[in-house]
Amino acid sequence: MKHFKGGVAVITGGGSGLGKALAIAAAKRGMKLVLADIQADALEHTVEAFRSQGTEAIGVQVDVSDASAVQGLADQAEQRFGRVNLLFNNAGVTSGGLIWESTEKDWDWLLGVNLKGVINGVRVFAPRMLACVETDAAYEGCIVNTASMAGLLTSPGMGIYAVSKHAVVAFSECLHHDLQLVTPKLRSAVLCPSYVTTDIGNSERNRPAHLAVPEGLTKSQQAARAASQHSIANGAISAEEVAEITFGAIESNRFYVFPSPEALALVKARAQHVLDQTNPDLPYELVPTLKERRDRLLAAITQ
């Protein structure tokens, strides 16, 4: 995709963090914005900031796990701006701890946002974007799904999150294959950042009341949260840098977007274990963040 000016970008999780950074990158390229977020105050503040700078933007409060809400998002985007060129299925939340300690409500929340949110976005928007391909010879579009390096790696205390992001990677690859059967004018990409300085470590703030767990966090879940928050706060790359890398990938029609390529050594090591049929292992001595997570978990469950 080469032309952005005058196009429309829909971004879920657009009120803050990586979603907001993607919106900034889109606005710099002259795009109109449809920002969706579950957190109304952050969304309103971000939309007003864009409007004050001259960017055409609307905000829609959306729980992406709700299919009807995503349908409403698509309707509002179309009514306000017409065709959509870029869809960023970016909304995400995180949790952790020993995998068997994740409750049914934990799984419903994580998979609802991280996976079903992506599914809903593609299911609702892709047919509309494909219709634009049929009616406009100049149309270009791209669907970008935010996964994570946790969609390619596994580690202690990240089971529930890694499962959701592995599913997003597989879903995105299947979307790529399917679109190739239909048209070259609508493409897809999967974004797999490592630790980026955003507020995802505090995503419990937007957890729906009906999916809350009254008994609170277990020791392993507390340790996993602390480790994640520390790693996120000390992320080696900013959300703005990730957004620019993502737009570069869109321009060059690149499917895999890895803003932290140094992590690919771990992916290669994991793939080698799979090919050699050896047990999963991690080079903790080479990756301080993984070692810290493991050590925090060990301390929590053995005290």
Which token pair is 242?
């990730």
CB-based contact 224:97 (threshold 8 Å): yes
| Residue with the two structure tokens 């309707």 | 75
| Residue with the two structure tokens 């810290």 | 292
- What is the Cβ-side half-sphere exposure of residue 86, based on CA atoms within 13 angstroms? 34
Predicted pLDDT of residue 284: 85
CB-based contact 43:15 (threshold 8 Å): yes
Distances in Å between the Cα of 30 and the Cα atoms of 73, 174, 248 are: 21, 31, 15
CB-based contact 111:102 (threshold 8 Å): no
User: CA 219 to CA 19: how far, in whole Å?
Assistant: 31
- Active-site amino acid positions: 161
Predicted pLDDT of residue 289: 85
Predicted pLDDT of residue 48: 98
Predicted pLDDT of residue 273: 96
User: CA 83 to CA 74: how far, in whole Å?
Assistant: 10
- Overall fold of domain 8-216+236-262: Rossmann fold (3.40.50)
Predicted pLDDT of residue 272: 95
Predicted pLDDT of residue 288: 85
Which residues of the chain carry a pLDDT beneath 70? none
Q: Provide the sign of the torsion angle of the four alpha carbons 225, 228, 234, 239, taken in this order.
A: negative
Neighbours of 175 (CB within 10 A): 22
User: CA 281 to CA 265: how far, in whole Å?
Assistant: 13
Q: Per-residue DSSP letters for the chain?
A: ----TT-EEEEETTTSHHHHHHHHHHHHTT-EEEEEES-HHHHHHHHHHHHHTT--EEEEE--TT-HHHHHHHHHHHHHHH-S--EEEE-------B-GGG--HHHHHHHHIIIIIHHHHHHHHHHHHHHHHHHH-TT--EEEEEE--GGGT---TTBHHHHHHHHHHHHHHHHHHHHHHHH-SSEEEEEE---SBSSSGGGGGGG--GGG--TT---HHHHHHHHHHHHHHHT-SB-HHHHHHHHHHHHHTT-SEE-S-GGGHHHHHHHHHHHHHTPPP---GGG-HHHHHHHHHHHHHHH-
CB-based contact 85:141 (threshold 8 Å): yes
